């Protein structure tokens, strides 16, 4: 039986006794492959969105927020 983890700050200033390291996005591809949408904040692969210029900066928007323009 495991002991329950507490969420108290210890004398050393640490909050957790043991915490799994790493990123929640590990194993999802190369670094920079997952971007957050500027409008909705959802994390999407770069293939499911596009970069648009907004106020002299390049911002990522997913296709749910800004659908791609139809081909002519």
In the chain, domain spans = 32-72
The answer to whether 37 and 44 have CB atoms below 8 angstroms apart is yes
Residue 30: the pLDDT is 66
pTM, full prediction: 0.54
Give the model's pLDDT for residue 11. Answer: 77
- Predicted confidence band of residue 14 (pLDDT cuts 50, 70, 90): confident
Q: Are 65 and 39 in contact (CB under 8 A)?
A: yes
Q: What is the pLDDT of residues 16-51, one digit of tens each?
A: 666 666 666 666 666 668 888 888 888 888 888 888
């Amino acid at each position: 039986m495991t002991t329950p983890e507490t969420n108290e700050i210890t004398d050393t200033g640490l909050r957790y006794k043991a915490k799994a390291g790493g990123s929640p996005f590990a194993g999802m591809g190369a670094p920079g492959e997952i971007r957050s949408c500027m409008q909705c904040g959802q994390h999407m692969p770069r293939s499911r969105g596009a970069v648009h210029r907004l106020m002299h900066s390049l911002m990522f928007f997913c296709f749910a927020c800004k659908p791609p323009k139809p081909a002519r």
